[in-house]
Structure 1
Amino acid sequence: MSPADPVYWDPFDRDIAGDPYPVYERLRAEAPLYYNDRHDFYALSKHDDIDRALLDWQTFSSSRGPILEIIKAGIEIPPGTLLMEDPPAHDIHRSLLVRVFTPRRVLSLEPKIRQMCTRSLERLAGQDHFDLMTEFANEVPMRVIGMLLGIPEADQQAVRDRADANLRTEPGQQMQVSDKAIPHADHFAEYIDWRADHPSDDLMTELLHAEFEDTAGVRRTLTRQEILTYISVVAGAGNETTARLIGWLGSLLARYPDQRAELVADPRLIPNAIEETLRLEPTGHAIARYVTTDVEIRGATVPAGSAIMLLVASANRDEDRWSDPDRFDIHRKMTNLRTFGFGTHFCLGAALARLEAKIALEELLTHFPTWDVDPTALTLSPTSTVRGWESLPLTIP
């Protein structure tokens, strides 16, 4: 796309996905309310506009799903699919999962996460090259979600593979939306039946016994199908995104070895380095919403029934909010990060993702304080919803 051409953004264009940030910069400057007539959706790229939309769930609804293809397909969303609900149903269902992601429970996982990371990295000791994604980054969230759900370790890889496959797209193609695009969890059914007879300190046991007041005002426990939906949401949401975050840490710190050396010398800087990575290279670039009523944005009317994309990756580099926004700086003062969303749908697993990334990076730097990446060997994952490395070959000096 030449600077003389009208700005064009397309979430299914793999060439744009390779480096979308120049396009986002042009959108912010030239078309902060953008319309794509090829795929019939609007997009917002400025931080303030995105914040207003994320907070106004009545106008910018999640009830049709948070992904453009799902909104366009108009398929029925099962209850309990948190990412695809508005209040009051969303708040009722979210309250049941909040108890699983309490600070106490998240922190209680730290020793197990560290033990698992150490075990994975010790297995790689002495190797002069390995793929960070396949050998480490993909494994960490898969095991952690397995711990939370109470899934036997031997079955955790199969669970990740199924969730991952549903996000795959052919290059340049949209996600093929069928009922499998909505979280399904029939493969979890046997674990639920087993947990009913063998309770433990995990999500399944918690959900089996949770009492709540539903949208009809009835006090009850969850149905088996509702539990399956919840578990599917948790299993699918945390795997792909956290793995890609660890991958971005690996590639960015190879590109900025001086900042990596600072982290090795002072691990207390690691949490802020993770925040800066979440800002500069978020794994999810856009949140889709369904417009419920005509709404005026920047002097134009977005009609009811439209799909609109909220480009949080652009908000994270908005010049009006960040100084020198394209620079990676582990010392940057972090505020207004939108990678985990904002408002009603702020990511329930944000604290867990941060903890996983912190432990993973601490252990990676301990076991391998230096590494190089061959930029010609990198491949991005083929999804329209998550941006990150499919393969990240590291060379250990």
Structure 2
Amino acid sequence: MTKAELIFDPFSEDYFNDPFDTYRRMREEAPLYYNEAEDFYALTRHEDVAAAFKDFETYSSARGCDLAMVRSGEPPQKSIIFMDPPEHRHLRSLLNKAFTPRAIQAQRDTIIEQVDRYLGAVDHDRFDAVQDFSAPFPVEVITRMAGVPDEFRQQVRIWLDASLHREPGQSEMDETGMQATIDTAMYYYGLVQERRANPQDDMISRLIAAEIPGEDGKMRSLDDIEIAGFATLLGGAGAETVTKLVGTAVVTFARRPEQWRKLLDDRSKVPAAVEELLRYEGPVQYNVRYTLKEAQVAGGTIPAGKPVFLIGAAANRDPQAFTDADTFDIDRDQTEAQHLGLGYGIHSCLGAALARLESAIALDRLLDFMPRYEVDWDGLRRVHMQNVSGYSNVPVRVIR
């Protein structure tokens, strides 16, 4: 029997439904994958992906982080994820101040409040773990930190989902996504101007007051477009990561009830469970970079000036890095290798500690709410999104 041709199409129905068999074949058959029709490369082995994430002098973020952006050749909107050092370094050090361990712990009560708010409102017998719970609560936390008024917080999430959505075969944003992106940018731009006139105790107001070194070495303030770009990024990443991770957790534990029972027996395992979820099926599948110069990898050579998919989700299942890599095990030895579920290198997730804390609190509350549950598999729906994996619908029945 002839083996099917190996095709990595990140916008196909098969990919959206389950990319992991494709990732396995890529690691084994084409660790340096080249798509001739679309003229891009892809790396899937842990060693290669981790090294590329750290090598910003070769793999540049300045053209964007998805295929359409990199191909366009036009600089994307001003945002820290679309920057290389030294500009990136200055802005990262500034934004890090908003995510210190003390700042994250200060959000604990807010997280608990929002988790309890949404879980307390669901039907005690049947509910959608994403639509009713994991989708609405994370965006409340991050947008409140940014300074978004209550009445606009869920709208930010709706705009974000629209901007990331891709129909099978669609690599670029459609008109709905473009409009959502414009609406988001215009909203945050207006909010920045409001905060200039009336500062508050929030992240946007602190960014307005901050200064960073300019190209001439002199200190400068951030402009409204830069601040709006940061707010858009933080609102998006802070909402999507936890939404998808918690939804996937409910599905993963339903398929492996013995792992759920481990958590019921010992809540101290919850943080380790979050790490294993991030490794096993984290929300972010890949990031696209642009080669500034020729790159040598184990599988061959990548020419300069090419888009390269750095597929962290494939690297996280690499058997060369993780024992029984395709097995979900919350008792896994976390020191064996560094999972790439929240990025790696200079662009590692700025809000990683916040995402971990939110996910741990959400899991802990779900253990109380539904110690026994079943997923309605017929109602399960995956998202079709740009570089993000997870579920839009996870209907569950709580077993009393």
Q: What displacement does 1:375 show? A: 2.0
Q: Is the 8 A contact 1:185 1:231 kept in 2?
A: no
Task: Give the unaligned 5+ runs of structure 1.
Answer: none
Task: Give the unaligned 5+ runs of structure 2.
Answer: none
In the alignment, what sits opposite 2:19? 20
Q: What displacement does 1:377 show? A: 1.7
What pairs with 1:20-169 in structure 2 (closer than 5 Å)?
20-79=19-78, 81-126=79-124, 128-169=125-166
From 373, 376, 389, the equivalent of 1:374 is: 376
Separation (CA, whole Å) in 1 of partners of 2:76 and 2:152: 27
SS of the equivalent of 1:212 reads strand
Q: Is the 8 A contact 1:175 1:383 kept in 2?
A: no
Separation (CA, whole Å) in 2 of partners of 1:120 and 1:344: 34
Q: What displacement does 1:76 show? A: 2.1
Q: Is the 8 A contact 2:11 2:167 kept in 1?
A: no
Separation (CA, whole Å) in 2 of partners of 1:70 and 1:94: 22
From 383, 386, 391, the equivalent of 1:384 is: 386
Compare 177-186 and 285-294 and name the one that shifted more. Answer: 177-186
Q: Is the 8 A contact 1:214 1:220 kept in 2?
A: yes
Runs of 4+ in 1 over 6 A off after TM superposition: 177-183
In the alignment, what sits opposite 2:215? 215
Q: Is the 8 A contact 1:67 1:288 kept in 2?
A: yes
> Per the alignment, do residues 182 and 83 of structure 1 end up closer, same or farther by CA in structure 2, a change over 3 Å counting?
farther
From 346, 355, 364, the equivalent of 1:353 is: 355
Q: What displacement does 1:52 show? A: 1.5
Separation (CA, whole Å) in 2 of partners of 1:352 and 1:380: 25
SS of the equivalent of 1:395 reads strand
Q: Is the 8 A contact 1:70 1:177 kept in 2?
A: no
Q: Is the 8 A contact 2:67 2:171 kept in 1?
A: no
* TM-score of the two chains, using structure 2 as the length reference: 0.94
Separation (CA, whole Å) in 2 of partners of 1:299 and 1:357: 37
Amino acid at match of 2:66: I
In the alignment, what sits opposite 1:224? 224
Q: What displacement does 1:299 show? A: 5.5
Compare 250-259 and 104-113 and name the one that shifted more. Answer: 250-259
Separation (CA, whole Å) in 2 of partners of 1:177 and 1:308: 23
SS of the equivalent of 1:8 reads coil
Amino acid at match of 1:361: L
Q: Deviations over 1:213-248 (max 9, x none)?
A: 123212122122221122112112221222100101
Amino acid at match of 1:336: Q
Q: What displacement does 1:125 show? A: 4.9
SS of the equivalent of 2:308 reads strand
SS of the equivalent of 1:185 reads helix
Q: What displacement does 1:210 show? A: 0.8
Q: Does 1:265 align with 2:265?
A: yes
* TM-score of the two chains, using structure 1 as the length reference: 0.94
Q: What displacement does 1:69 show? A: 1.7
Task: Indicate the percent of aligned positions where both proteins have the same amino acid.
Answer: 37
Q: What displacement does 1:328 show? A: 0.8
Compare 336-345 and 14-23 and name the one that shifted more. Answer: 14-23
Q: Indicate the RMSD between aligned Cα atoms, in angstroms.
A: 1.9
